[in-house]
Structure formats: structure tokens, C-alpha cells
């Protein structure tokens, strides 16, 4: 267990604080692993307080409950406990303000902490960081405590994850960041998706017979898109941050230079992908020992070449990556691996601030990424269809609810295959796809009691209504600024190729283009002409960093990795909270389903009960239990503080606050 805890956790364990110190602590940090096993309702009477994991970053409901029960043995409901604890720890602004918000706060408390809940989120007064890797979470938190804002912390986390979570964190890939500026009351969608090199062409992945050759778009130099992460993170910092590059990058540089303690999760992923990674000598020397064996948990992994690359960026800005020494090494590596990328491709790359996609769901505003992400459009589209059904009455993950969700999902994914691509190159009917009128039309195609065979579904016409391995992190600061960031190398470790002398893993994002219409990509997604390969074009993505607003203020900050399952995972987080009154931890832990039109099946996690599966099968669905989906990192904002949950589906994640 200790290998899964952050550095602050381990230090606190060694100190073994006395019970009074624990009870007076204002903050406790919990990793996602602990969220599985600790709740206020399940504290063993024999638990040794001195062995509890403690630091000064957030409040664990178990500690709160123990503190309150030490004051008074009266048994209180969960809502009463947390309300009483907050009364003792939070300063109030005025009695009038409290009276005006009483009703809203009571509803928020009920939705967040309830005696009915079996999972509880982490609470913090000021700011919160939720990422897929505990060291990166600690770094983001320290930036917030040092006076940085959410963007400062996000940029620090983005660079840190390139060191601590190399299978997905990156500077050789790309992604999207949703930025909410509380002072301006404005949300920006920052697009730093990779681009096709200027030499790319429509048929570059076809053989002489016209068949798609998947290895060329996945494990070859031709698979590498022009990276956007560095440009995106630096643009966010320059336009929305308050700290310098040197300040926010220093932690990542130190981790790369001094080394990180290998976790069980990192060791397992390197071992599992050893054959693919070790075929590249430049990768083998970075991530494996001289004898070819993988690093074991507890051993130290140093990345001096990556540290140098990060130092060049800190000193020179974007030019330290897109020009000069690093750029030359990146181009050399891509071209020696059979690709065709130029120095000019790198020099020309620009991140773009775009207008977000917006929709309404039962009075909540959904704000998410526009193309080249398909996420925002289809999250809104699916929710628009579902709004016509009383999902709360049907129940969370009932056969009826899953049936309707699956039907809505496959209609959206059919449209995705037809209409979605890079809006800088094609006309994407975004307003039509997200209109309620179009959703109302699609809803008429759904039989409430019978599955619709995928073969009978075709993309519909929204024009009349026109008027897997990725990582996500969410951050909120004390001033109400928020970011949701999802970025990726595409597959785990991307192509698997480290550009020699840089320590930088290169993406295989070109596989997200449609190599040939009707041929699925690595995630089984079909595409058409809208997402065909073209020079300087951004490939279509499912990444869906999303903000949900309540009364014009951020309420949920969320997102997930998961390839094609990202869209449906984020949709279910939103529905779980809004339709089923779940707190953010319950919404995170709940079993997930996925239907992407083709293949014709509902993919489910094994936790879904057999009676529900049989009912779905009786309705005509093919149900396929498969591995867990997603790794959401979510934060809920309320007048009483912020609440967060890191997904238990992935080890090493942590949500922290102060």
C-alpha cells in the first residue's frame, strides 16, 4: 500500500502523529485507492489512529467523524456530521448570506454527504488537484499553496506527468484544456492537438492493393503527429497564469534529474509493453536496466535527457522545443523511423483558443471541447436525447436506463463517423448536432423496450437544425478558477519511440485519422471523409475535458482517459450527479457502460449485476463484459468548499486539496 501513497503520505506515516494532532488537522490527503476502503460509515473500532495517513492538504470524512464523535458520542447522520464539522472549520461571511443560501447549501450537502452513500469524496476549503499520479497531484497542490492559480498548477502538473506517468503524460503528444476564468466569467477551449506533417497525404497508410496497414499509423515514424503539448501548456501559462516558466517547470525538472521512485503501476506497465518499447534502442536505455529488465517498485528511475529537454523549454520557451537542438533531434528520430517530418512542421505549430461547445441538461450548462474533439458535441447530443426520459425514476444502471443510454450513444457515434473532423478543414454541423430539436427527432427512432440493431442505423441529417491511453487532470483554485485538461500520446507510450538524446516519447496520434473510410482505428472507431488524412490537419479526438455550470458558476470539473470510451464515461459522470443525486465519489465509482454503434454491443464493466445483463439481453442487446473503463479525475464546487474524487480504476492517482 505504501508504494501507492504520495511522498507527503509516507512522511506523515513515519511521524505517527498523536490522536490530538489528527483531530485538529485541518486537512487530509486521500489517494483513490484509499477511497475504495475508507468511509465515515466503516471505521473499525480497533483502528490505530497513529497509523492513519495524514498531511495538511484536505479533510477526510473519517477523521471529521472521529473528531466530532470525540466531542459528543451522539450518533449523527452523515449530513449532520459534515455540516457540523464545516461549521467548526469554515469562517462564514455573513448571517444574511448564510440565510440566503440555506436551501441551496442543504441540497448540496445532501447530494455530497449522505448516510445512504457508500463512497465519499475528499473535501477542501480552498483549492483542489485531481490527477492520475500522486506526485503530480502534490506538485499542483504546492503551486496553489504558493499563490499560483489553477492554470499555473495545471501547467506544472502537465510537465510533471511527462516524468511520472510516461505512458500518457507527455511533451511529445497533444491535448485539450478547458480554462474557466472566474474574474471574467469566461471559459476558453484551448486546442493543442497534434497536427499531421506537411508531407501527409490521404492514402499514406494504404498498401498497393488499397488496404489500410495499421502498423504504419501506430508503430512507425509515419504515426507521429507534430506535438502540441509544449505550445499548449505555455500558451495557457502566458495568457492565463501568474507564475514564470521557471517556477512551474522546476518540480518536473527536479523529478527527471533526481529520479522518481518507481510505483507498482509504472513497473507493471513497462513490463507489459516491454517487447514494443525495447525494439527502439533509444527507449530501452531510458526505461529499462542495462540487462533489459524492467525497474521494480521502489527502485529509482532517472531521466537526465528529459531533464535537459525540460530545462531548454524553461529557459527558451516554445523555441526550446520547436526550434534548435530539441527540434533537430525530434525530426531526426521521426525520419529515421520511416516518417516524414520537417523542422518547419515544428516551427509552424500553434495552439489555438476556440469557443467551447455548450448545451443545457436539466437546467445545468454543459461546456466542453469543440472539434477537433468530438467529445463536447456528442456529450451534449447524448444528454439532449436522454433529457426526454425520466432517468431518475428508472434508476441508476437499471436495465431501462442502460438501454436508453446505449441507444442514444450509438446514434451519436454514427453521426460522429459521418460528420466529425477538424473544423479548420471541413464544415462540422456543430449547432445542428447539439440542437434539442435534432435530439427530439433522434429520440423518435428509439424503441423504449427493444434494441436497435447497429446495421439499421445510419448517420442522420443534422443540417436542417444548423442555426486509450490518455490522462486527465482537474484543478480548482481558491478564487474559483478551474481547468479540465486531457492530453495523450494516443496508445500507452505512443509509438514507443523515444527521440534519442531528448528523453521525449513520441505520439502515434496519426492513427486517429481515418486511414480508409469504413476501416476502424485502434479503438474500433469508424471514420469517413471528414476525418481523412490531410497535411497540417488535426486528427479527430474523443478527449472531452468538461465543465458543468450551475447558476452560472462551475459545479463539476471532469474528464477521463479511455479512447473511444471517454465520451460515454464523462456523460455518465454528469448523469450520475444530475439524474441520480450522487456525490462525485459515488458518480466516479459507479459501474460504467459503453456503446459506440460498431461493434454492435454494449460494453459493460464486470460489476454490473447479472440480472441487469439478462434483462438487456432479453431486449435484444449483446452485452460484453470487458475491462474497466476510464480514469475520471473530478471536482465538485459548492458554497461550502470543493469535493473531489480520483477514479479507483487506476492505481497511483490522488486527489488533494487545502
Residues annotated catalytic, as ranges: 470
Containing 150, the helix (H) or strand (E) segment is: helix 150-164
3-state secondary structure of 603: strand
- The DSSP code for 453 is P
Beta carbons within 8 Å of 409's beta carbon, 6+ residues apart = 382, 568, 571, 594, 595, 596, 597
Q: Report whether 188 contacts 176 (CB < 8 A).
A: no
Ramachandran class of 67: left when φ > 0, alpha when ψ lies in -120 to 50, beta otherwise: alpha
- Mutual orientation of helices 436-443 and 375-386 as an angle, nearest 10°? 60
Cα 454 to the chain's mean position, in Å? 29
Positive or negative, the CA dihedral 65, 71, 73, 74 is: negative
Q: Report whether 382 contacts 236 (CB < 8 A).
A: no
3-state secondary structure of 260: strand
- Report DSSP letters for 25-85, one per residue: -S---EEHHHHHH--TT---TT--GGGS---SS-B-HHHHHHHHHHH------HHHHHHHH
3-state secondary structure of 475: strand
Q: Report whether 249 contacts 295 (CB < 8 A).
A: no
3-state secondary structure of 261: strand
Q: How far is CA 85 from CA 65, 69, 78, in A?
A: 8, 11, 11
Exposure string of 64-74, with b = 16+ CB inside 10 Å and e = fewer, is bbbbbeeeeee
Amino acid at each position: 500500500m505504501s508504494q501507492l501513497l504520495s511522498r507527503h503520505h509516507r512522511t506523515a506515516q513515519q511521524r505517527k502523529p498523536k490522536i490530538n494532532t489528527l483531530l485538529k488537522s485541518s486537512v487530509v490527503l486521500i489517494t483513490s485507492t484509499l477511497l475504495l476502503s475508507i468511509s465515515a460509515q466503516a471505521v473499525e473500532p480497533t483502528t490505530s489512529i497513529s497509523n492513519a495517513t495524514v498531511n495538511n492538504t484536505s479533510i477526510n470524512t473519517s477523521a471529521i467523524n472521529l473528531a466530532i464523535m470525540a466531542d459528543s458520542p451522539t450518533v449523527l447522520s452523515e449530513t449532520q456530521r459534515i455540516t457540523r464539522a464545516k461549521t467548526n472549520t469554515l469562517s462564514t461571511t455573513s448571517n444574511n448570506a448564510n440565510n440566503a443560501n440555506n436551501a441551496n447549501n442543504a441540497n448540496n450537502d445532501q447530494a455530497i454527504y449522505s448516510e445512504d452513500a457508500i463512497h465519499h469524496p475528499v473535501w477542501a476549503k480552498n483549492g483542489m488537484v485531481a490527477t492520475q499520479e500522486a506526485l503530480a497531484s502534490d506538485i499542483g497542490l504546492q503551486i496553489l499553496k504558493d499563490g499560483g492559480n489553477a492554470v499555473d498548477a495545471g501547467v506544472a502538473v502537465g510537465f510533471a506527468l511527462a516524468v511520472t506517468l510516461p505512458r500518457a503524460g507527455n511533451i511529445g503528444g497533444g491535448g485539450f484544456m478547458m480554462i474557466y476564468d472566474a474574474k471574467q466569467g469566461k471559459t476558453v477551449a484551448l486546442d493543442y492537438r497534434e497536427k499531421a506533417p506537411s508531407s501527409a497525404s490521404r492514402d499514406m497508410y494504404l498498401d498497393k492493393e488499397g488496404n489500410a496497414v495499421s502498423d504504419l499509423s501506430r508503430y512507425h515514424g509515419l504515426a507521429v503527429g507534430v506535438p502540441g503539448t509544449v505550445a499548449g501548456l505555455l500558451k495557457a501559462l502566458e495568457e492565463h497564469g501568474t507564475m514564470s516558466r521557471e517556477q512551474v517547470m522546476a518540480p518536473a525538472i527536479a523529478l527527471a534529474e533526481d529520479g522518481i521512485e518507481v510505483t507498482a503501476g509504472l513497473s507493471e506497465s513497462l513490463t507489459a509493453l516491454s517487447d514494443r518499447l525495447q525494439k527502439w534502442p533509444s527507449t530501452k536505455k531510458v526505461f529499462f536496466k542495462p540487462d533489459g529488465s524492467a525497474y521494480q517498485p521502489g527502485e529509482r528511475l532517472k531521466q537526465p535527457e528529459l531533464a535537459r529537454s525540460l530545462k531548454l523549454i524553461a529557459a527558451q520557451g516554445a523555441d526550446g522545443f520547436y526550434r534548435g537542438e530539441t527540434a533537430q533531434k525530434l525530426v531526426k528520430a521521426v525520419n529515421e523511423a520511416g516518417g516524414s517530418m520537417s523542422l518547419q512542421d515544428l516551427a509552424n505549430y500553434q495552439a489555438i483558443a476556440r469557443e467551447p461547445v455548450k448545451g443545457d441538461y436539466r437546467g445545468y450548462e454543459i461546456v466542453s471541447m469543440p472539434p477537433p474533439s468530438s467529445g463536447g458535441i456528442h456529450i451534449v447530443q447524448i444528454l439532449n436525447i436522454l433529457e426526454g426520459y425520466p432517468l431518475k425514476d428508472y434508476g441508476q444502471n437499471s436495465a431501462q436506463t442502460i438501454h436508453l443510454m446505449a441507444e442514444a450513444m450509438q446514434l451519436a457515434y454514427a453521426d460522429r463517423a459521418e460528420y466529425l473532423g477538424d473544423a479548420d478543414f471541413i464544415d462540422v454541423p456543430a449547432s445542428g448536432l447539439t440542437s434539442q430539436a435534432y435530439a427530439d427527432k433522434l429520440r423518435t427512432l428509439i424503441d423504449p423496450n427493444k434494441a436497435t440493431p447497429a446495421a439499421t442505423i445510419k448517420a442522420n441529417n443534422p443540417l436542417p437544425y444548423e442555426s486509450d491511453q490518455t490522462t486527465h487532470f482537474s484543478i480548482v483554485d481558491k478564487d474559483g478558477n478551474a481547468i479540465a485538461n486531457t492530453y495523450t500520446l494516443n496508445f500507452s507510450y505512443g509509438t514507443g519511440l523515444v527521440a534519442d538524446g531528448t528523453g521525449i516519447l513520441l505520439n502515434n496520434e496519426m492513427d486517429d485519422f481515418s486511414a480508409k473510410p469504413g476501416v476502424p482505428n485502434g479503438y474500433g472507431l469508424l471514420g469517413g471523409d471528414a476525418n481523412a488524412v490531410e497535411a497540417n490537419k488535426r486528427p479527430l479526438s474523443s478527449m472531452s475535458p468538461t465543465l458543468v455550470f450551475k447558476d452560472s458558476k462551475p459545479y463539476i470539473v471532469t474528464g477521463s482517459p479511455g479512447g473511444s470510451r471517454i465520451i460515454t464515461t464523462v456523460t455518465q459522470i454528469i448523469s450520475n450527479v444530475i439524474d441520480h443525486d450522487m456525490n462525485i465519489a459515488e458518480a466516479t465509482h459507479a459501474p460504467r457502460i459503453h456503446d459506440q454503434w460498431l461493434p454492435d454491443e454494449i460494453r459493460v464493466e464486470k460489476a454490473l449485476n447479472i440480472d441487469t445483463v439478462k434483462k438487456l439481453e432479453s431486449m435484444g442487446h449483446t452485452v460484453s463484459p470487458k475491462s474497466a473503463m476510464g480514469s475520471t479525475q473530478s471536482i465538485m464546487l459548492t458554497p461550502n468548499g470543493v469535493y473531489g474524487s480520483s477514479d479507483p480504476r487506476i492505481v497511483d492517482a490522488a486527489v488533494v486539496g487545502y
